[in-house]
Amino acid sequence: MAIVCPNCSREFDITLFQFGKAVRCDCGRLIDPLDWWLGPDRPGESAGLKEEKKLRELKTLVDKICFLIVSTEYQRADVKIETAKAKRRCEELFPGKGYLFDLIYGSRFRRLWSQFRGGTLDDT
């Protein structure tokens, strides 16, 4: 499957967009997989669709952290750095709701770490 640049029609393999990463085309356009999947923001776009885009972006970040814990040898400190980045992005996407990130995802990350790595994620 390919994602096509809207400026120059160059095609990119969808696997380049793992974990929601954007790719810069040779023409200079930044191609965001969320825009391809849900379409770019449009004037008059429904609030529900904008919220869906934000949720999908956050889900992509969280899925990446889960993958790093379960399927890689990332060190505890590196996982914590990725978690902090995701929390900051959550606070940007949903102002005033950052505390929910720890409430919802913190326990998931700790459980996965304990289950797949042993010990606790909070160890120093």
Note the pLDDT tens digit of each residue in 54-73: 888 899 899 999 999 999 99
Q: Does residue 123 belong to any structural domain of this protein? A: no
pLDDT for the residue numbered 46: 66
Per-residue pLDDT band for 115 (boundaries 50, 70, 90) equals very high
For 18, what's the count of Cα atoms within 13 Å in the CB-facing half-sphere?
6
Query: Of 15 and 34, which is predicted with more confidence?
Result: 15
The angle subtended at Cα 64 by Cα 59 and Cα 65, nearest 5°, is: 100
Look up the pTM and report it: 0.64
**Same-domain pairing of 31 and 64:** no
Same domain, yes or no, for 52 and 110? yes
Domain ranges, residue 20: 2-38
Same domain, 74 and 102: yes
Q: Are residues 34 and 51 in the same domain?
A: no
Dihedral (CA of 11, 14, 16, 21) sign: positive
Q: Are residues 60 and 105 in the same domain?
A: yes
Calpha distance 112→124 (Å, rounded)? 17
Percent of the chain residues topping a pLDDT of 90: 43
Whether residues 63 and 109 fall in one domain: yes
Q: How many domains does the chain have?
A: 2
Considering only residues 49 and 117, tell me which one the structure prediction assigns the higher pLDDT.
Answer: 117
User: In the chain, what are the helix, strand and coil shares in percent, each to the nearest 5?
Assistant: 60, 10, 30
For range 9-30, the mean pLDDT: 78
